[in-house]
Structure 1
């Protein structure tokens, strides 16, 4: 009997403990249900971005230094001045310049005169060549006329000039030889008269052949002179010899380069953002003078992880904010994305260049920008808060509140932003109350079966 009483007491105690535990557990569940944060599932816009930070820079920036020693004579700009490429910003006193730069002034004068002389001489030579062409052409016509109108003895007309000359030379030699024995006879001697006439005729025929040769030679000389005049004209018609011009222009460029060391010019269009030189300063080579920035285009360089780089391409929209500029969002575009990554402390990163499309005076080079690159923009898609997504048995789920019960619903996530994700498949329906902070008691109590929609 006593043993039975002990057993009954133990059973009562255990039953009471179990009841108390169940009441405590139910109270906890009720308390946690009261503290649940929910959001109604719905459709909307999703902007998927990749975030990064970087510093603003200008497209072009340059520190302009003095290229020689001397004393500053004039400074023509102040901070904030807009300048154009080639504008002279400051100059050194002529009397303070090194000897080499002073001598370059004389070299420049001489080189320019040499270039003028080349041009003038070429024009003169061209005119002379034209005159020579005219004279030589007339000489050719005259020589051709004389040759064409020269009548050779009948017996020579069908022979070439050299053949005729050879025959006439032979005939003349024979006539001289025949006349030699009788040349001292009286002039009225019949035989002497006959041989003398033959000698005279041979001499006349020989002279005729020589004259024809002279006419042909004169024509060849005239034609050669005409060709030479034409070659001279071709040489000078387009101006002086390019090699000569290049040599003189090199002298001019060298002299100008030496002289340009006496001043500083703007290398590109931009704004003077620093002036570090004043009239009267004694400067040396590489002494800094100005900083020039092209503020017409502001860029931000950001590093992107290898995981994200394939989602980025030129032309994508970018949204930017600055800690230094409250309450403003700026727009931009991706202009460049590196094709080769760099190892940064063991992680591979890619440089991406973003250009601001709506900068204002508040945005300044050197500021830190929070950059969000828009890689996807979806309209009218089913959305779920990222903080509500859980993993259960390797699957993505969200908990919903249904009939005062917290139950998991399977989902499949598509694109995501920092706050929301697109639901591309699963059991979640529009209007479901998504639990943003499902209590541990429900998760640890074992997963209830998925709600099946029918």
Structure 2
């Protein structure tokens, strides 16, 4: 929670001062018997200390307690069940990533894992059966058939390219430019194509830019810029055109020579299944539509193919499991560099299922983890500056910054707290588990007008009042000001006072 000093209630204090002053004077005349009307003693006006508006820094801080934690901490559990054959480490020992911690006799566990893998194999087989029972291949694209790559009796796999199509609704033209000119184009950019024979322009869109280039006879270094043009009725393959583009400054970039229109790049149709083709249902140069039937599949051999794939998959999985048993049953390795802080296993015993066998901690690098209250967590942002005070080091501040915010909190009694990670610039001699607290600077302004926090009475969000001396009567009077950041020691004054203005501190102690 943010640490704040209490605000003054100026009007109440002023009223008390007036009452006390009047009561004292009445008592004096009563007990002395002197007539106040005939013997007047001038009363001294009370004086109050003042504070001047100055330029400086205002910091808003959230206070939180926390603990020092190692950045890396791993709880090691064997992936397989079995008795520990050899224990190779002890508590306090330093290990490196990959060092063997202990070995386990895991033959029984491996057999159980093999049974599980066989269950997975059966599920995969059922999925393969569904995939392999497709009796036809349909086109997922529309266009003109340029090439048919398979015939009756051929065998295909799901990735086989069975046909190539071209899109007859578009034409492609390739403009030739210098290296500098090519760099002015972007894929998706709209350009103009000048039809040299007809002397008019059509629109196009850049689809590819060759920034590598190559040398061509008579042109030198050439970089191709490919443009796709929606085919109007008056343009045909072989017609000549020039690619042109005018930038925002009015500079015209035009291809070095007229080039012919071509059919767009080929589109590939994949089989999407495997098996033998029974019949091809289309011919070269046909116009096909998306979803159109292209091939009928021979389903008579699908059962045999399925059995062969099942046997092959089973053999692969059994080989993999055999190697797992050979490697994993013997040794459990350290996943990180660090120090063994806990060993919960003994030779000849099986590790307990509810606790880690070994705990490894990297004590060379630590975080400070602050337990931030749910009320304050919306104000915490990554990168905010933090001063951390570890109990073991007294009042020495350690500089840090917020590096990680939690996704969820932890309920403690009736409150919820969030573990905010703070990276420290100096962690020398800090140990995992040390306690402390921190100041998280959630808002900070420099070189702004400010007053001490106890010099301002806060009225509402962004509004406050101060006590100033009336220039006519020299009596304390309230003045409203606009406030900004409310810090621990100072408050920002946005409007209502200027630098050097003085305000009264009615009780002089800031209570």
After TM superposition, the score normalised by the length of structure 1 is: 0.49
Greater share of residues in strand: 2
Q: Which of the two has higher C-alpha Rg?
A: 1
Greater share of residues in helix: 1
